[in-house]
Amino acid sequence: SPPAAVSQVTVRDALNQALDEELERDERVFLLGEEVAQYDGAYKISRGLWKKYGDKRVIDTPISEMGFAGIAVGAAMVWLRPVCEFMTFNFSMQAIDQVINSAAKTCYMSAGSIPVPIVFRGPNGASAGVAAQHSQCFAAWYGHCPGLKVISPWSAEDAKGLLKAAIRDDNPVVMLESELLYGVPFEMSEQAQSKEFVIPIGKAKIEKQGTHVTLVAHSRPVGHCLEAAAVLSKEGVECEVINLRTIRPMDIETVEASVVKTNHLVTVEGGWPQFGVGAEICARIMEGPAFNYLDAPAVRVTGADVPMPYAKILEDNSIPQVKDIVFAVKKALNM
């Protein structure tokens, strides 16, 4: 049979496709947030959707995260399926009470009688030159809370499949996108572009097989890991690269199986080191069966432990670069 058609799709278009398909599929789904309707979205993720679906399904809100997140949570409690866009996740701090106290805990506190099927989505982590108040990663913040599912896509396929899964899920889902990936094209198979394509929440993906060291990352650093793996391959080091995809529930089994094979672990993330995603992975490996297979201590590569500087050269030195990953791998392998 002929090879399946593969085309290049940007993360922006993959997200747009997912929203369009789910709005069409289920009339309970609606999108709300700042500038999502008439302006086509601050990052053009919702381009064309207001024209197609109208005021009831794509709703421009006032600049009040606490207000519109609360409206969305209330709508989810009466079985609508809102997609609540934060212009950046830094602004979700205005609404964190709604996300955690109202959305995450209600199903448990109502003994399962009030599910809250809602998606909170938007760009997370560092962009470029937007300084400390617009650059932090919330994976560890939201990943800490029972009652939430937390997803962090890298590729266009991740973005589409995970957003569709999130919208269909009966639990509150926090979807942490990367602004710097929105315009990046990825190969997408014909299957991934079908209307029924979903990626199960809670499953990591091995992006590259390898035998010497396990690299685990989520969001944009997955790409950095693949670049570092290409550099190290020239020196005879074969990295296995794992794209976490989901922060909570974390697929530690895939990481364990890889560590059993490679005997070395390096975690990579854009967030701060203390209580970070990498810290959690290291602790889980330490507590589990894979610990006995480690030939060296696990190494974490993280953002610098500072509020994000504004100056470009300082920003570059505050975010993990390919050279930092290469250095960490060599440290883990005692090279």
Rounded distance between C-alpha atoms, residue 266 and residue 324, angstroms = 11
The predicted structure's pLDDT at residue 131: 94
User: What values do phi and psi take at 242, rounded to 5?
Assistant: -110, 125
Asked, colleague to colleague, whether 8-193 and 205-333 share their fold, the answer is: yes
Over residues 217-267, the pLDDT tens digits come to: 999 999 999 999 999 999 999 999 999 999 999 999 999 999 999 999 999
DSSP label at residue 100: I
Positions marked catalytic: 65, 134
CA atoms within 13 A on the CB side of 197: 20
Confidence of residue 190 (pLDDT cuts 50, 70, 90): very high
Read off the tokens for 208.
Answer: 């590259």
Position 156 scores a pLDDT of 98
- The pLDDT of residue 1: 63
Sequence ranges of the domains in the chain: 8-193, 205-333
The CATH number for 8-193, chosen from 1.10.357.10, 3.30.230.20, 3.40.640.10, 3.40.50.970, is 3.40.50.970
Of 170, 201, 184, give the one whose Cα is nearest residue 80. 170
Q: How confident is the model at residue 5 (pLDDT cuts 50, 70, 90)?
A: confident
- Residue 4: pLDDT band (50, 70, 90) is low
**CATH 3.40.50.920 is held by the domain 205-333:** yes
